[in-house]
Amino acid sequence: MTQDRLVIATRGSALALWQANHVKDRLATVAPEMAVELLVIKTSGDLIQDIPLAKVGGKGLFVKEIEQALLDGNADLAVHSMKDVPPELAEGLSIAAVSKRETPWDALCAREPVTVETLPHGARIGTSSMRRQCQLLARRPDLKIEMLRGNVPTRIRKLDDGMYDAIVLAAAGLVRLGMADRITQELPLELSIPAVAQGVMGIETRSADVMVRQLAARAIHDERAHAAVTAERAFLAKMGGSCSTPLAAHTLDRPDGGIRLVGMCGMPDGSKILRAEYGGTIDQAALLGEKLAEDLIAQGAREILAATR
């Protein structure tokens, strides 16, 4: 960063660019004297489109080249969908701020107004997520899960071209891209627990760049979302899982100001799902995530994860 210039590293998908431009606009409100530029980076995850992420390194493939741009000094901050960010960041980098959470649920999209319950027997469902596959098959073992990759508009186009009877995406991405009208059902928590940190954007910076970190926090930081993400990512780290394993955790606000963390681990075919939940105060967020993981581990989660790797 120069005294009057910031560079944001981002992927080039429509959603990534929406998020990066949102952060750019927010930075302009807190530091109008700064010129903010985007540096578009094509990541390994963008280049590999014909193989499930779980087989080629998980969603960390969407961030490693962007993190290298930060480490090399070619960018000052990076904007991510936090659900794509692995529990462990590259040395010297950290998350400076997280956004308020957008609609966190998974969304069923179809050409007809159907729900998971009313899909035809044997319907073809597009998703590359083992987490979504696991929970869908637990409810509807007759469904045919088929791999779906690509950015949000590409996935919707594949649906419209008849490649699938329905697809499942994060509702947040559809909302941000103005495509919420394509949602035929937001999947409730009891049907599909969302991915860790789903619906939250994060700004990653070099840990030593105090001024950049302060600007990022002033631009978008939300404390409630931070507590939620802390709890969920602590769970993921303790489980030793990645964003591509059949794990889920989601934080809900309690009326008393505290939080409730629910989570699951399951077999990809939906034949076995372990669930647990814990509640506490927001300053106990990391502890709640660890306790949730310990509960599922005691129920046999490590054996499930070993079987799916």
- Which residues are part of the catalytic machinery? 84
Q: How many angstroms separate the CA atoms of 78 and 92, rounded? A: 14
Return the biggest CA–CA distance within the chain: 61
Q: At what angle do helices 301-308 and 285-299 cross, to 10 degrees?
A: 80
Q: Where are the beta strands (DSSP E) in the chain?
A: 5-10, 35-40, 77-81, 93-98, 106-110, 124-126, 144-146, 166-170, 183-186, 201-206, 247-253, 259-266, 273-280
Contact 204, 94 (CB under 8 A): yes
Q: How many angstroms separate the CA atoms of 62 and 77, rounded? A: 15
CA trace torsion 38, 43, 49, 54 (10° rounding): -130
Q: How many angstroms separate the CA atoms of 143 and 150, rounded? A: 21
Cβ partners under 8 Å of residue 120, min gap 6: 165
Contact 261, 277 (CB under 8 A): yes
